[in-house]
Amino acid sequence: MTDQLQVRLKEIAKECGGNRALCEKSGVSERTFANWLAGSSEPKIIGIAAIAQAAGVTIDWLVTGAKPKQPLGTRVDDTFAIVHVPVISKDLKESDKSFNERLVLQNHMPFSKSFLEERLGHQEFDQLCLFKVHGDSMDYTMSSGDYVLVDRAQTKLEDGIYAFIFKDQINIKRIINIIDGVEVISDNQALYPPYLIKNNHLHQMQVIGRALWVGKNIP
């Protein structure tokens, strides 16, 4: 087993809350997992598949390091300098899964690497995704049919526009931090008044990521 595979196993174990948590979720025994980390035994494909599924990463990434790391990650075509960004459905899977597992992939949309680099200021594209806007609550910042580019690496709530899950729905709204919690603001306030998510209810708000760019239709 390569040293880099061991590094990736340690990485996802840390992300899942430790070796025990990952092993309990995957069904792989702690002793077997410890042997993999020590290099004293080689993982079989069924074990790798179980670990990858439990951690929410792709088998390709776990074994070889090839991106995307996550099933919803971007796919980079270096031959043509194109980044294929996943488009996520407005509908969620059943509620007994973690929120990342509830996101539904619809397709991918191509962007040039230079376009993304100019707007992001870096070359880390793996956590990008797109949402199609439905409804008029954010007119005219974003209108129905527009596409919003979201960075899932930015989940710390600061003032700005975020995609998030609340009350079992995906929302894209403007967020302002206040003492009592966060104020959720629709730009079309004439029809959609602001509302408050209090601090004691923030655990019900699952942040997907921060909105970075809007691709608009011309009326």
**Domain-wise residue ranges, the chain:** 3-64, 75-215
Name the pLDDT band for 96 (thresholds 50, 70, 90): low
CATH code at 75-215: 2.10.109.10
Picking from 217, 35, 105, the residue whose alpha carbon sits closest to that of residue 47 is: 35
Alpha helices in the chain (DSSP H): 3-15, 19-26, 30-38, 45-55, 59-64, 99-102, 113-120
Q: Which residues have a Cβ under 8 Å from the Cβ of 8 and sit 6 or more positions away?
A: 61, 62, 65
Q: Just give the CATH number of 3-64.
A: 1.10.260.40
pLDDT band at 55 (very low <50, low <70, confident <90, very high): confident
User: What pTM was estimated for this model as a whole?
Assistant: 0.73
pLDDT value at residue 177: 95
Predicted confidence band of residue 93 (pLDDT cuts 50, 70, 90): confident
